[in-house]
Amino acid sequence: MNLRLLLLSECNRTCKGCCNKDFDLESLPVCNSFTGYEMVILTGGEPLLKPWLIINTAVAVRAENPTAKIVLYTARSVDPALFVSLLENHLDGITLTLHTRKDVASFITLNNLIKSMPSLAGKSLRLNVFRGINLGDTDLSQWKVKNEIQWIKECPLPSDEVFMRRYSSIQNVPAKLVAAPVRKVFQIIPDKALQAA
Ligand code: SF4
């Protein structure tokens, strides 16, 4: 069984077919244990808007269930350094979705960085490309690619997945819920954000 784990509901996009509109996210059960899952899928919202939540959760999952694969779902490729750092240090894989043509330029920068990093060999990289996006002759050999993606009505959960949330509040995660060492790692970037969280 896999766990789909909502870290936050916040997102910087307003996709017309967003699956989150089909779920009552606030009524999802809060996950109290990571034991027994083969895979934990971190999702949002856009988790990369608050990367310390990803680290906080990955550390907690590893402590409780060291064999579980941890995978991040994201649509954000605009910060390649952050993307590869999380992948290298905390995650087993990332599934990246390109929603619009505007995503292509940042994706190509990210793709070039990934290709230059042998340390990422063995990580799972999946790329969902929405219909209408053309990546031309971009070398996608690092990725398992799904092209021609379209919105799915009502977004049914796979039968081998349960959907829960990580925090009791998914809109405004209190800073006190984020482990101190994680706050220290990110003290330069999100100090203000942590205050706001
Ligand atoms: S990027 Fe994902 S979470 Fe954000 S609005 Fe689009 S589908 Fe929803």
- Find residue 69's DSSP bridge partners: 39
Distance between Cα 185 and ligand 1 center (Å): 27
Distances (CA, A) of 5 to 38, 43, 72, 186: 13, 6, 10, 22
pLDDT at residue 172, rounded to an integer: 66
The letter for the amino acid at 31 is C
- C-alpha 135/C-alpha 4 separation (Å) is 29
Ligand 1 mean position to 128 CA, how many Å? 13
Instruction: Answer for the pair 45, 9: CB distance below 8 angstroms, yes or no.
Output: yes
Task: Report residues whose beta carbon is within 6 angstroms of any ligand 1 atom.
Answer: 11, 13-15, 18, 20, 44-46, 75
pLDDT at 155: 83
Residues 6+ apart with CB under 8 A from 164: 3, 4, 5, 6, 28, 29, 30, 31
64-100 as b/e: b if 16+ CB within 10 A: ebeebbbbbbbbbbeebeebbebbeebbbbbbbbbbe
Domain count within the chain: 1
Alpha-carbon gap, residue 184 to 193, rounded angstroms: 13
Residue written as token pair 């895979």: 39
Give the closest residue (by CA) to ligand 1 atom 7: 18
Cα 6 from Cα 165, distance rounded (Å): 4
The atom of ligand 1 lying closest to the CA of 43 is: 3
pLDDT at 190: 47
Atom of ligand 1 at shortest range from CA of 44: 3
Sequential pLDDT tens for the chain (197 residues) = 999 999 999 999 999 899 888 888 989 999 999 999 999 999 999 999 999 999 999 999 999 999 999 999 999 999 999 999 999 999 999 999 999 999 999 999 999 999 999 999 999 999 999 999 999 999 999 999 999 999 988 788 899 999 999 998 877 665 655 655 565 555 544 444 444 43
Residue with CA at minimum distance from ligand 1 atom 6: 15
Q: Can you give the residue range of the structural domain that contains 23?
A: 2-196
Would you state the pLDDT for residue 156? 86
